């Protein structure tokens, strides 16, 4: 393989080394862009899979799909757990020779465009600065924890932490544990800790729609079969179609459509089957909003965990923290030794950890003013040679497929800098405006609009979701870029 780092190509900085950053490095290499530096602020690669090491952490999408098409792997489970995903990413970095161009423990604080040199000046946490011709942000989307603002948090005498910052030395054996939240993370944590803890109190502000995941270890025969390239690809396509068939034209997200009604009926049937003898719990876990107003949860063991004798469900919000526990909205104090916050992330604060300034020193956060938007979620007018992975309105469909498509978009654009001997490129204002207007129009009538979720900005505008699945999105990244992009 050709070594990275020849000076004849544009210099590119990739900020972040999770699934997105690794995909960007590989795509740039394949496009002939060899002068690449990957800057990762953590001590290891993996992004969300480096940070989220809580018990039960595993992917919701089938392993053979939640991976790169260009890097096959012999998966051991239908849905890989955190440690296997981490090993997979380490393997990809080594296979494609990226390790020598990776700088761990290097945090980028500011990226500032310089019109006089047509470069980005990156200011690092240690105060040093470096310049690059192009910048790819792969800092992620679900990476900045959202902490509650409960009165009295500083008074709690026990141990309190967020799931994305799980302490390596925490001991839950025999403890009274409070778990706050009932999203995808809590649905994985509860079954993992309930057999260990003395008692678990689960605080549910609002239930989610849940379907069984069907996760299991693959048999030896299955692993042999799926190790064959043709069978591997067939499994990827089969799994992709399982996701795409409901999202292809956005019908899944619209109440009243056939596929939407079918999924909600499946969720209700699942509740009925698990809680046949507990109608009280069945009522508490049944949402009152339409499917899939919040992110649907896939779990085969969350509902059964609620039936354990040492698990209590509190179906109301936490209002404050006392010295000895949590106070719920009904005024009941729950004495606890440990409080685990499965309270999600600051999802609409895109690039909150990276200050990006474009032409005339404009700060990206100021341009957005609380309403993040980008062309295909990737580029913004006034910010030349800058590409966002997992940007606004790209959550939905199969995310690794999205990230690879975005990485391909960036690589093709940066290759244009070299081939056409141009210095800058950015999306046209008209393309940016028309695209986002049409996109927001498609959000009307979705369950997302009428539900309490993490998809919306303060104004109620859906700023995180993509409604049409990965096939449509990937096609658009290829077809629209040439007509939307302006070079100078």
pLDDT tens column, 203-236: 999 999 999 999 999 999 999 999 999 999 999 9
**Packing angle, helices 229-247 and 469-479, rounded to 10:** 100
pLDDT at 459 over 90: yes
If one counts every other C-beta atom within 10 angstroms of the C-beta of residue 341, the result is: 24
Contact 380, 451 (CB under 8 A): no
Which pLDDT does position 248 carry in this prediction?
79
Closest alpha carbon to 321 in 199, 181, 129, 180: 180
As a whole number of angstroms, the distance between CA 267 and CA 160 comes to 32
Which of 253, 11, 7 is CA-nearest to residue 119?
A: 11
Average the pLDDT over 69-95 and give the result: 98
* 344 in Cβ contact with 183 (< 8 Å): yes
Can you list the alpha helix ranges (DSSP code H) found in 211-253? 220-226, 229-247
Strand-pair partners of 363: 357
pLDDT tens by residue, 344-388: 999 999 999 999 999 999 999 999 999 999 999 999 999 999 999
- Phi, psi angle pair for 151, to nearest 5°: -65, 140
**Is there a contact between 103 and 349 (Cβ–Cβ < 8 Å)?**
no
8 pLDDT band (50/70/90 cuts)? Answer: low
Each residue's pLDDT tens digit, 106-159: 999 999 999 999 999 999 999 999 999 999 999 998 889 999 999 999 999 999
Residue 433, pLDDT > 60, answer yes
The reply to whether omega before 148 is within 30° of 0 (cis) is: no
For residues 156 and 336, give the distance between their C-alpha atoms in angstroms, rounded to a whole number: 9
Please report the sign of the dihedral spanned by the C-alpha atoms of residue 465, residue 467, residue 468, residue 469: positive
At 402 the three-state DSSP class reads: helix
Q: Are 18 and 47 in contact (CB under 8 A)?
A: yes
pLDDT tens digits, residue range 13-37? 999 999 999 999 999 999 999 999 9
- What is the reported pLDDT for 4? 42
pLDDT for 385-403, tens place per residue? 999 999 999 998 899 999 9
Q: H/E element holding 12? A: strand 12-15
Q: Quick one: pLDDT at residue 339?
A: 98
**The pLDDT of residue 3 is above 60:** no
What residues contact residue 460 under an 8 Å CB cut-off, 6+ apart? 449
pLDDT tens per residue across span 325-350: 999 999 999 999 999 999 999 999 99
Q: Stretch 437-465: mean pLDDT, rounded?
A: 96
Indicate whether 6 pLDDT > 50: no
Shortest CA distance to 217 belongs to which of 10, 334, 78?
Answer: 78
Helices 469-479 & 399-419 angle (0-180, nearest 10): 10
**For 236-274, how does the pLDDT look when each residue is reduced to its tens digit (9 = 90+)?**
999 999 999 888 778 999 999 999 999 999 999 999 999
pLDDT given for residue 397 in this prediction: 83
CB 391 within 8 A of CB 363: no
Please compute the mean of the pLDDT values over residues 41-65 and round it to a whole number.
97
DSSP state of 125: T
d(CA 327, CA 141) in angstroms, rounded, equals 31
Confidence (pLDDT) at 316: 97
Domains of the chain, each with CATH number or no CATH: 12-144+347-487 (3.50.50.60), 153-209+256-289+291-341 (3.50.50.60)
pLDDT at 418: 78
CA angle 117, 120, 125 (to 5 degrees): 135
Q: Is the pLDDT of residue 85 over 90?
A: yes
Widest Cα–Cα separation across the chain: 72
Helix, strand, coil % over all residues of the chain, rounded to 5? 35, 20, 45
CB atoms within 10 A of CB 127: 7
Tell me the pLDDT of the chain averaged across its residues.
95
| Model pLDDT, residue 409 | 98
Q: Average the pLDDT over 472-487 and give the result.
A: 94
């Amino acid at each position: 393989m050709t070594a990275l780092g020849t000076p004849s190509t544009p210099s590119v900085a990739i900020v972040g080394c999770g699934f997105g950053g690794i995909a960007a490095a590989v795509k740039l290499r394949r496009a002939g862009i060899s002068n690449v530096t990957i800057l990762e602020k953590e001590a290891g690669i993996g992004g969300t899979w480096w940070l989220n090491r809580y018990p039960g952490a595993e992917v919701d999408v089938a392993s053979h799909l939640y991976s790169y098409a260009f890097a096959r792997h012999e998966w051991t489970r239908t849905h890989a757990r955190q440690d296997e995903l981490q090993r997979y990413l380490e393997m990809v970095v080594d296979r494609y020779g990226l390790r020598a161009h990776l700088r761990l423990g290097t945090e980028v604080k500011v990226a500032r465009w310089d019109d006089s040199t047509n470069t980005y000046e990156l200011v690092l946490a240690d105060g040093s600065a470096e310049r690059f011709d192009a910048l790819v942000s792969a800092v992620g989307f679900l990476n900045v924890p959202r902490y509650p603002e409960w009165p009295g948090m500083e008074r709690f005498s026990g141990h309190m932490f967020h799931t994305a910052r799980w302490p390596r030395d925490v001991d839950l054996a025999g403890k009274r544990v409070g778990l706050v939240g009932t999203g995808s993370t809590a649905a994985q944590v509860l079954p993992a800790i309930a057999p260990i803890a003395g008692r678990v109190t689960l605080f549910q502000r609002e239930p989610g729609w849940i379907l069984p995941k069907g996760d299991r270890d693959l048999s030896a025969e299955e692993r042999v079969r799926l190790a064959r390239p043709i069978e591997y690809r067939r499994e990827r396509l089969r799994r992709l179609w399982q996701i795409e068939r409901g999202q292809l034209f956005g019908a899944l997200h619209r109440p009243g459509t056939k596929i939407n009604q079918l999924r909600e009926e499946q969720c209700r049937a699942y509740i009925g089957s698990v809680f046949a003898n507990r109608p009280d719990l069945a009522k508490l876990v049944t949402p009152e909003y339409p499917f899939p107003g919040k992110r649907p949860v896939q779990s085969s063991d969350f509902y059964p965990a609620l039936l354990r004798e040492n698990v209590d469900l509190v179906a109301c919000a936490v209002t404050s923290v006392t010295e000895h526990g949590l106070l719920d909205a009904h005024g009941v104090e729950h004495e606890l030794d440990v409080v685990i916050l499965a309270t999600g992330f600051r999802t609409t604060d895109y690039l909150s950890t990276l200050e990006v300034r474009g032409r005339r020193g404009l700060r990206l956060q100021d341009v957005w003013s609380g309403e993040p938007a980008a062309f295909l979620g990737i580029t913004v007018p006034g910010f030349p040679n800058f590409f966002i992975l997992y940007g606004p309105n790209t959550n939905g469909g199969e995310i690794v497929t999205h990230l690879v498509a975005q990485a391909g978009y960036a690589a093709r654009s940066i290759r244009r800098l070299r081939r056409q001997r141009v210095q800058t490129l950015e999306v046209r204002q008209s393309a940016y405006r028309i695209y986002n207007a049409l996109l927001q129009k498609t959000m009307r009538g979705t369950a997302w609009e009428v539900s309490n979720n993490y998809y919306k900005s303060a104004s109620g505008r859906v700023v995180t979701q993509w409604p049409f699945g990965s096939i449509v999105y990937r096609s658009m990244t290829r077809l629209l870029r040439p007509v939307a992009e302006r070079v100078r």
